[in-house]
């Protein structure tokens, strides 16, 4: 274990300490959606929006993958070609990525940080796509639903596995990827056939999700994370990326497809190198809480995870015609069992309309869902770009009240929390406030409207509360016992705060 002069410890489990108090009231934003224009202008827009986002309470953003994808400027960023090309080299048909040039990316990171916003880089290390050359490789085809069952004998295939990066020509890294660095691919050029092919003398990585029996293989040329040269190169890349971009942490893609020990060790290496507790959140896409908890245990708590089970709760509630029991909202969720490792969200680029994981929460329920994740104490909420700005491609407007809810998190969501998840439809909570903050009372209903007597805090006795969202016009006076009768309309949310 290493210690810095400031007393931080690095390369170890993240623990709740005085140094990590800055996690309180952290509001993350995913600062992209899938169908952004392919105009190479996103980094410039982010620079222009930095101050506005800070004013609305955002203090952390997750930017899209910044490196060159196999489809050049048409690639959202997950079809990774060259992680050292941040929009600098004329590769795959363009110099800029979909979002802009390297200079514009670095400027956007700097502008966000100047506005008081931490920046997370999207790290995609599971696979490579768009190789420069084919190689002849001995391989077996495996069953798509049981990746441990072979359905062919060993035979030769032509695989796109050699990455020479002739344009970059060794700048930043002279590492050349070849078939020995991968476990398998999904395309045999010789036969012109799709499938899942495992290379000779290779085994799928252990410590991965059990879907398809072993879900190591996802797409492209799958990295062999047992290969020492691969691990060394990914370590070199991480350090280069930190030194080049100065990001404050990471969003880690597709972690369920990678040996859990890899990111455990990689994150510890990065934190030791920078002597910083770089915040990290992983995408482990599963509605099964047990799988998320198992991954956190396997990685020894080095990262948070997105609360996918809670997202699915929101989705089902929004489509449930008030049949969902709201009192059980947090049962089986990460934030309900391990809030310190939970990043809560309503939707993202994978769940938006038109995507493979489409489970888009209905418009009427979104303000309720955001009110819950933004104003409660538990978890770190992540706001989706498509909910904040809208999704023109799909004719989707920005979520009503969302900027106001984000502002209320920054100004009022402090102090002791008292939960009232005690009804099938109408649930809520209060925050007492602390220091110079006044606190609030939140009430939501996925069915009929109604009232609930909730404790706002004895310090608020005699104060008048109003609905900051304007959904209920009346005023509520807090009694001598610190309680008030707060109301919510049907299928709505009210956020009650002390009247100015």
- Just list the catalytic residues: 253, 283
Backbone angles phi, psi at 347, to 5 degrees: -145, 170
403/192 Cα distance (integer angstroms)? 50
| Beta-bridge partners for 344 | 381
- For the beta carbon of residue 259, count every other beta carbon within 10 angstroms: 20
33/77 Cα distance (integer angstroms)? 12
| Tokens, residue 401 | 């009240």
| Tokens, residue 9 | 């410890």
99/34 Cα distance (integer angstroms)? 12
Is residue 391 a contact partner of residue 403, using CB atoms and an 8 Å limit?
no
Least Cα distance to 14 among 245, 266, 247, 277 occurs for: 277
261/419 Cα distance (integer angstroms)? 37
Q: What spatial distance separates the first Cα and last Cα of the chain, rounded to whole Å?
A: 50
Measured CA angle at 307 (ends 24, 248), to 5 deg: 50
Least Cα distance to 208 among 147, 166, 265 occurs for: 147
For residue 241, give the H/E element and its range. helix 228-245
Backbone angles phi, psi at 414, to 5 degrees: -135, 165
Is residue 354 a contact partner of residue 76, using CB atoms and an 8 Å limit?
no
| Beta-bridge partners for 97 | 100
Strands laid side by side in the 493-498 sheet = 417-420, 426-431, 440-445, 493-498, 464-467, 475-477
| Tokens, residue 279 | 């915040």
49 CB-near residues (< 8 Å, 6+ apart): none
Is residue 196 a contact partner of residue 216, using CB atoms and an 8 Å limit?
no
Measured CA angle at 62 (ends 114, 366), to 5 deg: 115
130 CB-near residues (< 8 Å, 6+ apart): 69, 70, 71, 79, 81, 92, 160
For residue 316, give the H/E element and its range. helix 308-318
DSSP strand pairing (304-306 vs 2-3): unpaired
98/85 Cα distance (integer angstroms)? 12
């Amino acid at each position: 274990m290493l210690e810095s002069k400031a007393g931080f410890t690095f390369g170890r489990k993240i623990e709740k300490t005085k140094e990590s108090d800055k996690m309180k009231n952290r509001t993350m934003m995913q600062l992209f959606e899938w169908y952004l224009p392919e105009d190479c202008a996103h980094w410039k827009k982010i620079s222009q929006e930095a101050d506005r986002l800070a004013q609305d309470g955002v203090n952390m953003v997750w930017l899209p993958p910044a490196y060159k994808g196999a489809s050049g400027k048409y690639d959202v960023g997950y079809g990774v070609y060259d992680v050292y090309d941040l929009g600098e080299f004329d590769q795959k048909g363009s110099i800029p990525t979909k979002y802009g040039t390297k200079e514009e990316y670095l400027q956007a990171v700097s502008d966000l940080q100047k506005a008081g916003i931490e920046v997370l880089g999207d790290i995609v290390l599971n696979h490579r796509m768009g190789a420069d050359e084919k190689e002849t490789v001995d391989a077996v085809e495996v069953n798509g639903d049981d990746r441990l069952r072979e359905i062919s004998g060993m035979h030769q295939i032509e695989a796109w596995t050699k990455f020479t990066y002739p344009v970059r020509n060794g700048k930043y890294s002279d590492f050349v990827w070849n078939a020995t660095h991968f476990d398998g691919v999904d395309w045999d050029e010789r036969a012109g056939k799709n499938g899942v092919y495992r290379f000779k003398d290779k085994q799928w990585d252990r410590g991965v999700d059990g879907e398809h029996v072993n879900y190591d293989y996802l797409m492209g040329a799958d990295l062999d994370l047992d290969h020492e040269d691969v691990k060394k190169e990914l370590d070199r890349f991480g350090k280069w990326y930190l030194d080049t971009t100065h990001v404050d942490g990471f969003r880690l893609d597709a972690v369920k497809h990678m040996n859990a020990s890899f990111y455990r060790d990689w994150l510890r290496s990065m934190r030791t190198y920078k002597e910083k507790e770089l915040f990290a959140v992983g995408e482990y896409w599963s509605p099964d809480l047990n799988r998320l908890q198992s991954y956190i245990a396997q990685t020894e708590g080095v990262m948070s995870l997105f609360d996918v089970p809670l997202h699915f709760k929101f989705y089902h509630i929004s489509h449930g015609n008030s049949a969902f029991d709201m009192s059980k909202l947090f049962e089986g969720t990460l934030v309900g069992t391990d809030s310190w490792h939970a990043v809560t969200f309503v939707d993202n680029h994978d769940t938006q309309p038109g995507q493979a994981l489409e489970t888009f929460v209905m418009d009427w329920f979104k303000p309720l869902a955001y009110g819950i994740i933004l104003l409660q104490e538990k978890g770190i909420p992540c706001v989706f770009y498509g909910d904040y700005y809208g999704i023109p491609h799909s004719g989707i407007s920005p979520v009503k009240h969302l900027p106001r809810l984000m502002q209320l998190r920054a100004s009022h969501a402090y102090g002791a929390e008292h939960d009232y998840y005690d009804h099938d439809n109408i649930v809520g909570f209060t925050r007492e406030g602390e220091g110079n903050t006044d606190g609030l009372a939140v009430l939501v209903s996925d069915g009929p409207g109604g009232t609930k007597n909730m404790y706002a805090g004895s310090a608020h006795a005699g104060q008048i509360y109003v609905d900051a969202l304007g959904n209920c016009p009346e005023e509520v006076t807090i009694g001598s016992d610190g309680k008030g009768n707060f109301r919510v309309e049907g299928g709505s949310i009210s956020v009650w705060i002390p009247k100015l």
